[in-house]
Amino acid sequence: MRYRTLGRTGVQVSTLALGAMNFGAIGRTGQEEATAIVDAALEAGVNVIDTADRYGDGESEEMVGKAIAGRRDDIVLATKATMPMGEERNHRGGSRRWLVTALEDSLRRLGVDHVDLYQMHRWDPATSDEETLSALTDLQRAGKIRYFGSSTFPAYRIVQAQWAARELRLGRYVTEQPSYSILQRGVEAHVLPVTEEYGLGVLAWSPLASGWLSGAVRAGRDVTTHRSTVMPDRFDPALPANRARLDAVERLAAVADEAGLTMIQLALGFVTAHPGVTSALIGPRTVDHLRAQLAAADTVLPADVLDAVDAIVAPGTDLAPHEKHDTPPSLLDASLRRR
């Protein structure tokens, strides 16, 4: 396992981080399997576990808490807030009112007195930077969080939050967690240059592109997966974006074969090759899935392989732009772009 410094924090983290989104009903991963995954990950040198209150409405956090009991100090523990938790309209967002409550709920579910990294799961356009940053700064000063970061923020919001923190003399986001893979490279155009400029650590989620780069999705194969039943459009071959992805996967498979790599090694090696990326978040549902992904822990792609990837999916390109999660609200709501 390789390690890198998380932004400018001085904290050393593994280049593969364990994402716990699949723990519980979402991934059909029970407590025994989740604990076995955590055991195997820690044994392999993974020292980051990332979860969120939204995952299974708290179920993932509870399972992570049970899995890490007795060894919390060896783990860089991260969770998130802002996504809706139930129907109550104020049980979401980046307000001080909600963040204080959400963190207490997360700490209780995790069975800990602090988290190392508390992340805003999404930008909340209804809440000012001053409101959110001041609440996070107070929680940090109270010792309940060590650092705080953002997740899936548009580049301009990352910049705005950094300037707000400086102007208001508040703590700042020290990490960003964007979606990044060979098939979704849009963050290379704006987000990653900004995170590098401000010295943010980057934890890249979905480096296997929701399973497209796992090696299981190939032309002529039945692509019915657990994820395809949850998100049926994600693998529908009738959609142009999926046909483009499948074509890219076939060409990438040839690159991997020629280099003596698995598709997983190619995919994870690509993400961790970017100088702006600190760690790639893997989200296994089983121990076998984890082991296949851990095989990429020491993968370093040579320049010719990276050039071959660029020839298949151009830098800064999203093959499925409709699946982006950092699109500015004005592009989604016509009323926001018309007088």
What is the secondary structure of 39-71 as a DSSP string? HHHHHTT--EEE--TTGGGGHHHHHHHHHTTT-
- Is the per-residue pLDDT at 21 higher than 90? yes
Is 147 marked active-site? no
Give the tokens for residue 59.
Answer: 């179920």
- Is the per-residue pLDDT at 301 higher than 50? yes
Q: Which residues of 206-216 are buried (b: 16+ CB within 10 A; e: fewer)?
A: bbbbbbbbbbe
Taking all residues of the chain, what is their mean pLDDT, rounded to a whole number? 95
Catalytic residue among 55, 118, 173, 180: 55
CA atoms 20, 22, 26, 28: torsion sign? negative
Q: In the chain, how long is the greatest CA-to-CA distance?
A: 58
Looking at residue 329, its pLDDT comes to: 79
Looking at residue 224, its pLDDT comes to: 61
Q: For residue 74, how many other CB atoms are within 10 A of its CB?
A: 10
User: Average pLDDT in the 14-43 region?
Assistant: 97
Q: For residue 288, how many other CB atoms are within 10 A of its CB?
A: 11
Residue 181 sits in a domain whose CATH number is 3.20.20.100
Q: Which residues of 76-104 are buried (b: 16+ CB within 10 A; e: fewer)?
A: bbbbbbbbebeeeeebbbbbeebbeebbe
**53 pLDDT tier (thresholds 50, 70, 90):** very high
User: Average pLDDT in the 95-102 region?
Assistant: 98
Which range of residues forms the domain containing residue 297?
Answer: 3-337
Percent of the chain's residues with pLDDT above 70: 97
Q: Which residues of 105-130 are buried (b: 16+ CB within 10 A; e: fewer)?
A: bbbebbebebbbbbbbbbbbeebebe
Looking at residue 226, its pLDDT comes to: 45
The structural domain count of the chain equals 1
User: Does the pTM exceed 0.85?
Assistant: yes
Looking at residue 125, its pLDDT comes to: 94
Cα-based distances in Å from 191 to 150, 280, 283, 292, 327 = 12, 16, 22, 29, 12
Tens digits of residue pLDDT in 141-179: 999 999 999 999 999 999 999 999 999 999 999 999 999
- Is the per-residue pLDDT at 230 higher than 80? no
- Is the per-residue pLDDT at 231 higher than 80? no
Looking at residue 133, its pLDDT comes to: 98
Tens digits of residue pLDDT in 170-203: 999 999 999 999 999 999 999 999 999 999 999 9
